[in-house]
């Protein structure tokens, strides 16, 4: 398809979003990422049955942590798409990039 | 197990606001099993603290350590060479942990990172419920295996009160009336007669009413 998406998005591959833990999302924020999102399969279509649903709950937990420490919870998001939806992957990358740009740089990076 | 809940991050951050180097200490006992104070949660709390302090431009060093248990001196001892490197320690064990750390290291500033809730078990993944109040004289065999002390809001020993309705306790529709469960169970077992037995006034001196308790086993002492 040769679709393009913003170059600031760094993809980290995992076998299933069920592998993504709270600490992974926090580490990204701690190391200065302006935002981090999990791109999982469509709900109800997880090859491992509930990996993407677990990831969704973990994203929610991290949002709560960010809220508790006074950071924008929107810096962490969960998206769902099928592996055949290349255009949606690119669209989500653009959507998230725009959202994070609107929030501005992470205070973790700019204040330290 | 002893079940706890993490204190709000704001409370923990406030406790350590004046420190620059902190050790978060976890426990591999009960609090690991109820996912509130194990190695994983130590990592999450430490990272959350670092993020918050970086965000405020007030960086902090947070190291992580998880002991086998914080309620045994030999494991608490394992911190002896490093305690003086830190301004403070945040223990995310049950309430015993921070006390054992504070007793063993009298010069250290020790803070509790979790609110200890109760002795209980897991009803399902992520849901825990109280089952024991540590009264010091177990009576569950008299009540079909249910404890009316821990599970009845009034700790009644002679049947339900007027607040029992449809199997629930009047304090909340989420709380079972344990007396409803007791009667249901004994009726099913054909042992309702056992409830005719008069349970004498409970001697609460074996519970907290007798003051702080201690168990001594001479056969185990070294």
Is residue B7 situated within a structural domain? Answer: yes
Same domain, B32 and B111: yes
Burial of B22 (0-12, 13-18, 19+ CB in 10 A): buried
* Residue-number span of the structural domain to which B47 is assigned: 2-118
Query: Residue A10 in 3-state DSSP?
Result: coil
Is residue B55 situated within a structural domain? Answer: yes
On the question of pLDDT at B209 being above 80, the answer is yes
Q: How many CB atoms lie within 10 A of CB B172?
A: 9
Is residue B182 situated within a structural domain? Answer: yes
* Cα separation values, B53 from A83, B10, B12, B63, B164, Å: 38, 12, 12, 14, 49
* pLDDT attached to residue A111: 74
* pLDDT attached to residue A109: 86
Which residue, B118, B146, B180, sits at the end of a domain? B118
pLDDT digits (tens, 9 = 90+) for A28-64: 999 999 999 999 999 999 999 999 999 999 999 999 9
Is residue B166 situated within a structural domain? Answer: yes
Q: What is the mean pLDDT of residues B55-68?
A: 97
Among left, alpha and beta (phi > 0; psi -120 to 50; other), residue B126 is left
Answer yes or no: do B55 and A69 touch at CB < 8 A: yes
Q: In this structure, what DSSP letter does residue B7 have?
A: P
Same domain, B99 and B190: no
Question: Is the pTM for the entire model greater than 0.80?
Answer: yes
Query: How much is the mean pLDDT over chain B?
Result: 96
The nearest CA of chain A is from the CA of B183 a distance in Å of 39
- Max CA separation in chain B (angstroms): 69
On the question of pLDDT at A79 being above 80, the answer is yes
On the question of pLDDT at A85 being above 70, the answer is yes
Same domain, B43 and B112: yes
Is residue B204 situated within a structural domain? Answer: no
Same domain, B108 and B138: no
Is residue B92 situated within a structural domain? Answer: yes
Is residue B186 situated within a structural domain? Answer: yes
Same domain, B9 and B114: yes
Contact B25, B80 (CB under 8 A): no
Domain tally for chain B? 2
Query: How much is the mean pLDDT over chain A?
Result: 96
Same domain, B110 and B194: no
Same domain, B21 and B64: yes
Query: Residue A71 in 3-state DSSP?
Result: coil
Task: Name which of B8, B13, B55 is nearest A71 (Cβ-Cβ).
Answer: B55
Same domain, B92 and B154: no
Same domain, B8 and B94: yes
Please provide residue B164's backbone torsions phi and psi, each rounded to the nearest 5 degrees: -85, 125
Same domain, B78 and B105: yes
Q: What is the mean pLDDT of residues B23-27?
A: 98
Q: Looking at this predicted complex, what is its ipTM? A: 0.94
Q: In this structure, what DSSP letter does residue B204 have?
A: G
C-alpha–C-alpha distance, residues B171 and A30, integer Å: 43
On the question of pLDDT at A112 being above 70, the answer is no
Q: Which residues of A touch B55 (CB under 8 A)?
A: 69-71, 106-108, 111
Q: What is the CA radius of gyration of chain B?
A: 22
Q: Residue B88: which CATH number?
A: 3.40.50.2300
Q: Which of the residues B51, B125, B127 would you substitute to probe the A interface, choosing the one with the greatest number of A C-beta atoms within 10 Å?
A: B51
pLDDT digits (tens, 9 = 90+) for B44-55: 999 999 999 999
DSSP state string for B97-120: HHHHHHHH-TTS-EEE-EEEEEEE
Q: What is the mean pLDDT of residues A100-110?
A: 93
Q: What is the mean pLDDT of residues B95-119?
A: 98
Contact A38, A59 (CB under 8 A): yes
Same domain, B145 and B106: no
Answer yes or no: do A111 and B54 touch at CB < 8 A: yes
Contact B197, B158 (CB under 8 A): no
Answer yes or no: do B43 and A108 touch at CB < 8 A: no
Q: What percent of chain B has pLDDT over 70?
A: 100
Residue with tokens 């009540």: B143
Q: What is the domain partition of chain A in residue ranges? A: 23-72+80-110
Element (H, E) at B150: helix B148-151
C-alpha–C-alpha distance, residues B108 and B98, integer Å: 11
Same domain, B188 and B87: no
Contact B125, B31 (CB under 8 A): no
Is residue B218 situated within a structural domain? Answer: no
């Amino acid at each position: 398809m040769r679709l393009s998406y913003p170059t600031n998005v760094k993809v980290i591959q995992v076998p299933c979003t069920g592998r993504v833990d709270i600490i992974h999302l926090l580490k990204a924020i701690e190391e200065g990422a302006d935002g981090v999102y999990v791109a999982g399969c469509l709900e109800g279509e997880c090859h491992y049955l509930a990996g993407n649903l677990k990831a969704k709950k973990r994203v929610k937990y991290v949002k709560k942590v960010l809220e508790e420490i006074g950071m924008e919870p929107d810096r962490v998001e969960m998206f769902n798409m099928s592996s055949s939806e290349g255009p949606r992957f690119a669209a989500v990358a653009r959507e998230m990039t725009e959202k994070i740009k609107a929030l501005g740089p992470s205070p973790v990076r700019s204040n330290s | 197990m002893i079940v706890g809940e993490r204190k709000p991050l704001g409370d923990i951050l406030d406790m350590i606001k004046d420190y620059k180097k902190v050790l978060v200490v976890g426990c591999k006992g009960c609090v690991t099993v109820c996912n509130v104070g194990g190695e994983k949660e130590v990592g999450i709390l430490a990272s959350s603290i670092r993020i918050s302090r970086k965000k405020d431009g007030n960086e902090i060093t947070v190291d992580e350590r998880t002991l086998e248990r914080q309620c045994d001196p030999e494991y608490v001892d394992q911190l002896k060479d490093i305690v003086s490197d830190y301004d403070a320690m945040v223990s995310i064990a049950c309430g015993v942990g921070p006390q054992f750390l504070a007793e063993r290291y009298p010069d250290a500033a020790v803070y509790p990172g979790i609110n200890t809730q109760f002795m209980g078990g897991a009803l399902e993944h992520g849901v825990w419920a109280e089952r024991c109040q540590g009264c010091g004289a177990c009576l569950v065999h008299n009540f079909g295996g249910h404890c009316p002390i821990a599970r009845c809001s009034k700790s009644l020993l002679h049947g339900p009160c007027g607040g029992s309705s449809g199997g629930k306790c009047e304090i909340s529709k989420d709380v079972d009336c344990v007396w409803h469960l007791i009667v249901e169970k004994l009726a099913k077992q054909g042992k309702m007669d056992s409830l005719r037995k008069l349970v004498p006034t409970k001697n609460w001196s074996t519970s907290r009413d007798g003051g702080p308790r201690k168990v001594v086993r001479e056969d185990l002492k070294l």
